[in-house]
Amino acid sequence: VILEMINALFKKDFYHFQAVLFKRFQIKFEDNIVWEVVKSDNQITLRLFENNALKEPVFVFDSDKVLPEWFTERVEQINIRLVDTQRLLVIAESLPTTFSQEATILKYANELAENIKSHLAKSMELASKLDSTYPSRLAKNRHQYEKISAEQVMAELQQLEKKRQLFHSVGLLALEENTDFLESTDKFMIPVLMVYIDDSKQKLQIFENFAQKLKCFLEIINNRFLYKTMSVDKQQGFIFTSTTTGKQIPATGLSCRIAFAIRSGVMCSRML
């Protein structure tokens, strides 16, 4: 963790410190210059000492602020590189004998984004087929729903809503809007609602197993976090957010420990 913090400092990645539990740490140079990074009240401050005396005004990090000259000048003079462990590298499929520099976190994020796109494409294809035949199926099958009660319809709708809530919580689906018509229990609406329910079940079935794996995955990861949360994003795969600042944390700035946790979560969810 210390090496990662030093690397983040010299890479000017102050967002990294939002995800680390610490109060302060110092870097002492050979010329008796000391840098001190302090975390307090959700703020990251940078201080410069020379011979144990504060030399410059305290710099409070903010993405809109320009970093102090005394900091940037020294950073540019020193070449810092954090050597990744082999466990955090993945072998590129196109280059089986060489190591790709793609981080494990980004690899799994990209895989998840592609998996989500695949499921959404299947759902859209099925939805298109069902929507095109909806009128004819309603006219043909409406009599088979004559004995269905309003209570049964509402129970079915509630089950659908529970599934949608689950799929929404794992980042797969947005909650439906303008669903006032679903509250109607008029006997003439029952066939309409039952066809809607049957179609919805088929559409949601595509996500069922995938959603359960994502739920397991998110629980495994977020149970290990203290000051951040991971959530699924359709475009990026998953994103990390600081619970103290509410800001998004770049995936590339996360620690090795978190990468291992994600890897473990992926493996566990794949076993389901």
The region of weakest confidence among 92-96, 108-112, 175-179 is 92-96
Note whether 33 and 48 are within 8 A (CB). Answer: yes
* SS3 at position 23: coil
Q: What are the residues facing 240 on neighbouring strands?
A: 230, 249
Please give the model's pTM, rounded to 2 decimal places.
0.57
What does the H/E/C string look like for 60-81?
A: ECCCCCCCCHHHHHHHHHCCCC
Supply the pLDDT for residue 202: 93
CA-to-CA separations, 88 to 218, 222, 238, 257, in angstroms, rounded:
20, 20, 18, 10
Distance CA 37, CA 17 (A): 9
CA torsion 75-12-24-253 (nearest 10°) is -130
What confidence tier does 264 reach under pLDDT thresholds 50, 70, 90?
low
Q: Tens of pLDDT along 33-91?
A: 899 999 887 788 899 998 888 888 888 888 777 888 899 888 888 876 655 544 444 54
Structure tokens at 226: 């203290």
Distance CA 205, CA 212 (A): 11
Note whether 176 and 216 are within 8 A (CB). Answer: no
DSSP classification of residue 29: -
Q: Is the confidence at residue 189, as pLDDT, over 90?
A: no
